[in-house]
Amino acid sequence: MANIVTITKVNQGPANVILHVYIASDGAAGELVDEVLIDPVSIGLAANSRFAIEDIKYNFMGFGARIEFDTGLVDDKMIWVLGENNSHADFKDINGLYDRSELDGTGKVQLTTSGFTSAGDQGSMVICIRTTGVL
């Protein structure tokens, strides 16, 4: 068996995307590491497009995670830590958490879990993302 990662595009406009993400541990496969939640190319944008995360609502049971942008280098740009339980982070008042990766970044939004090892570990997220243009 394998961990479950279900990503549903709830809405997409010319400058924004809303995703619902459901994850569940199988108790054997271990942590999710750099799991791609969204790639600019997968939604029809240019490969050098960038995102800003405007809002995250999440509920995690039994684990925590971090959300980050793929820089294309060894070290990703850590963006936000998502602790266990139910929470909400709204970044609209600061114009979003934007991708600060340089020219070699991929623009992908990734998730890495911590403590995602028991069969009962599961969680859901709703992520509101804005496109910020191309490099």
Q: What is the pLDDT of residue 26?
A: 96
Structure tokens belonging to residue 91: 């970044």
pLDDT in tens, 7-61: 999 999 989 999 999 999 999 999 999 999 999 998 888 888 889 999 999 999 9
Q: Which two tokens stand for residue 45?
A: 């944008």
Q: What is the pTM of this model?
A: 0.91
Q: Where are the alpha helices (DSSP H) in the chain?
A: none
d(CA 34, CA 72): 12
Judge whether 125 and 64 are in contact, CB under 8 Å.
no
For residues 125 and 135, give the distance between their C-alpha atoms in angstroms, rounded to a whole number.
28
pLDDT tens-digit profile of 68-115? 998 866 666 768 999 999 999 999 999 999 888 777 788 899 999 999
Tell me which CATH code domain 4-134 carries.
2.60.120.1330
pLDDT of residue 135: 59
Which pLDDT score is estimated for 76? Answer: 60
Domain ranges of the chain: 4-134
